[in-house]
Structure 1
Amino acid sequence: MATKNVDEMSFLDHLEDLRWHLIRITIAVILAGIIAFCFPKILFGVIIFGPTEMSFPTYQWLCEMSQLIGIEDTTFCADRFPFDLQNRLVAGQFSTHIWTSIYAGFIVAFPYALYQLWRFISPGLKKNERRNSRGFIIIASLLFFIGVLFGYYVITPLSFNFLANYSISDKVINDFDLNSVIAVVRSSSLAAGLVFELPILVYFLTKIGFVTPQILKKYRKFALVIVLIISAVITPPDIASQVIVAVPILILYQVSIFISRIVVRNQNKKELKAKV
Structure 2
Amino acid sequence: MSSPEPNRTEDSGQPGEESFISHLIELRDRIIRAGIAVIVVFIGLVYWAPNIFHLLARPLLDNLPKDGKMIVTDVTGSFFVPMKVTMMVALVIALPVVLYQIWAFIAPGLYQHEKKLVVPLVSSSYILFLCGMAFAYFVVFPTIFRVMAHYNAPLGAEMSTDIDNYLSFTLTMFLCFGVTFEVPIVVVLLVRMGVVTLAKLKQIRPYVVVGAFVVSAVVTPPDVFSQLILAVPLILLYEAGIVAARLIVGKDKPRIESGDSATSD
TM-score, reference length from structure 1? 0.75
Partner of 2:51: 42
Partner of 1:119: 104
Residues 147 and 194, structure 1, Cα contact 8 Å, conserved in 2: yes
**For residues 179-198 of structure 1, what are the structure 2 equivalents within 5 Å?**
179-198=164-183
C-alpha distance after superposition, 1:90-119 (max 9, x if no partner) = 111122122112211122222323323333
C-alpha distance after superposition, 1:151-202 (max 9, x if no partner) = 1111111222222332397464332211112223222223212221222233
Question: What amino acid sits opposite 1:256 in the alignment?
Answer: G
Question: What amino acid sits opposite 1:241 in the alignment?
Answer: S
C-alpha distance after superposition, 1:46-80 (max 9, x if no partner) = x11211233xxxxxxxxxxxxxxxxxxxxx7xx84
Q: Larger Cα Rg: Structure 1 or Structure 2? A: 2
Please identify which structure carries the higher helix content: 2
Distance 1:232 1:154, change over 3 A: farther
**For residues 45-56 of structure 1, what are the structure 2 equivalents within 5 Å?**
45=54, 47-54=55-62
Partner of 1:175: 160
Partner of 2:30: 21
Question: Structure 2 CA distance, aligned partners of 1:20 and 1:201?
Answer: 30
Question: Structure 2 CA distance, aligned partners of 1:201 and 1:115?
Answer: 20
Residues 156 and 184, structure 1, Cα contact 8 Å, conserved in 2: no
Question: What amino acid sits opposite 1:163 in the alignment?
Answer: M
Residues 158 and 236, structure 1, Cα contact 8 Å, conserved in 2: no
Partner of 1:256: 241
Question: Structure 2 CA distance, aligned partners of 1:194 and 1:141?
Answer: 10
Please say if 1:242 is aligned against 2:207. no
**For residues 131-142 of structure 1, what are the structure 2 equivalents within 5 Å?**
131-142=116-127
Distance 1:8 1:41, change over 3 A: same
Question: Structure 2 CA distance, aligned partners of 1:28 and 1:103?
Answer: 13
Please say if 1:160 is aligned against 2:173. no
Question: What amino acid sits opposite 1:248 in the alignment?
Answer: P
Distance 1:82 1:251, change over 3 A: farther
Distance 1:244 1:97, change over 3 A: closer
**For residues 206-225 of structure 1, what are the structure 2 equivalents within 5 Å?**
206-225=191-210
Distance 1:162 1:171, change over 3 A: closer
Could you tell me which runs of 5 or more consecutive residues in structure 2 were left unpaired when the two chains were aligned. 1-15
Partner of 1:69: none
Question: How far does residue 223 in structure 1 lie from its aligned partner after superposition?
Answer: 1.4
C-alpha root-mean-square deviation of aligned residues, in Å?
A: 3.0
Distance 1:102 1:243, change over 3 A: same
Identity %: 30
Question: Structure 1 CA distance, aligned partners of 2:145 and 2:182?
Answer: 25
Partner of 2:7: none
Question: How far does residue 17 in structure 1 lie from its aligned partner after superposition?
Answer: 4.0
Residues 87 and 93, structure 1, Cα contact 8 Å, conserved in 2: yes
Could you tell me which runs of 5 or more consecutive residues in structure 1 were left unpaired when the two chains were aligned. 1-6, 55-75
The count of aligned residue pairs is 246
Partner of 2:73: 88
